[in-house]
Amino acid sequence: MHSFEIFQHPKLQLLIKRFQNKFPKIDLFRNMEYLGDTGYTGMGMNVNDIKKILERCLKEGKYFKVHDINWKGDDPMPDDWWEGKVVYYNYKG
């Protein structure tokens, strides 16, 4: 799923609104941008995976960020390589 489609998907609309109400200081757009596919970057998650992340955040009172994972190969990094990791943080409103 492409990143811009994530915000318009009907299964995620209610969770997105609940997240934004619970964590008003968190830039959800920036955090969700890499969950989808943006071309050369992005984790390419599907709707169900993203739904699980948002539900976990709401249940545990945490927000998430996607961190870049550095290239560890011996050869030069290919242009189409990118990997991320979802990390959860406690929210201090």
User: 63 or 78, which is more confident?
Assistant: 63
Residue with tokens 């599907």, as numbered in its chain: 46
Query: Coil, strand, or helix at residue 70?
Result: coil
The pLDDT assigned to 80 comes to 67
Tell me how far apart the alpha carbons of residues 4 and 26 are, in angstroms, rounded to a whole number. Answer: 18
Query: In this structure, is the dihedral angle defined by the CA atoms of residues 16, 21, 24 and 26, taken in order, positive or negative?
Result: negative
Instruction: Report pLDDT digits (tens) over 7-43.
Output: 889 999 999 999 999 999 999 988 888 888 877 677 8
Range of the domain at 32: 3-90
With b meaning 16 or more CB within 10 Å and e meaning fewer, what string describes 30-53?
ebbbbbbbeeebbbbbeeeebeeb
pTM confidence score: 0.84
Q: How many domains does the chain have?
A: 1
